[in-house]
Chains A and B, each alone.
Chain A
Amino acid sequence: MQKEKLERAQVRRALEEAVLEVLETMCFEFPVAEPEEGEAPQKEGVHAAARFDGSLKGVLRIALTGEAPRRLAAAFLGLADDEVGERETMQMACELANMLCGATMSRLEPHGRLRIAAPEASRVTGACGGACWLCFPLEAGLLAATLCLEEES
Chain B
Amino acid sequence: MPSRLMIVDDSPVMRAFVKRTIALSGIETSEILEASNGREALEKLRACAAAPAVDLILTDINMPVMDGEQLIGELKADPALQAIPVVVVSTDSTENRVGALLRLGASDYVRKPFPPERLSEVLGGLLPGAVAREEEF
Q: Which residues of A contact B114 (CB under 8 A)?
A: 25-26
Task: Select the stretch in B43-51, B74-82, B88-96, B124-132 that faces chain A.
Answer: B88-96
Q: Of A25, A109, A113, A116, which is within 8 A of B91 by CB? A: A116
Given contacts A73-B13, A94-B11, contact A113 B94 (CB under 8 A): yes
Size range of the chain A interface in the assembly: 20 to 34
Q: Does B113 lie within 8 Å of A103, measured CB to CB?
A: yes
From 58 to 106 in chain B, residues with beta carbon under 8 angstroms from any chain A beta carbon are: 62, 64, 90-97
CB distance from B107 to the nearest CB of A (A): 21
CA–CA, A152 to B97, complex, Å?
Answer: 22
CA–CA, A112 to B92, complex, Å?
Answer: 10
Q: Does A102 lie within 8 Å of B14, measured CB to CB?
A: no
Q: Of B17, B92, B112, B115, which is within 8 A of A114 by CB? A: B92
CA–CA, A110 to B99, complex, Å?
Answer: 12
Q: Does A114 lie within 8 Å of B10, measured CB to CB?
A: no
Q: Which residues of A contact B92 (CB under 8 A)?
A: 102, 106, 114-116
CB distance from B32 to the nearest CB of A (A): 15
Q: Which residues of B contact A54 (CB under 8 A)?
A: 94
Q: Which residues of A contact B133 (CB under 8 A)?
A: none
CA–CA, A129 to B117, complex, Å?
Answer: 40
| CB-based nearest A residue for B16 | A77
Q: Is B12 an interface residue (CB 8 A)?
A: yes
Q: Of A95, A113, A116, which is within 8 A of B14 by CB? A: A95
Q: Which residues of A contact B91 (CB under 8 A)?
A: 98-99, 101-103, 116
Q: Is A88 an interface residue (CB 8 A)?
A: yes
Q: Which 4 A-B pairs have the closest CB atoms?
A: A102-B91, A25-B113, A91-B13, A26-B113
7 A/B residue pairs, CB under 8 Å, sorted by A: A25-B113, A76-B13, A91-B13, A98-B91, A98-B112, A116-B92, A118-B10
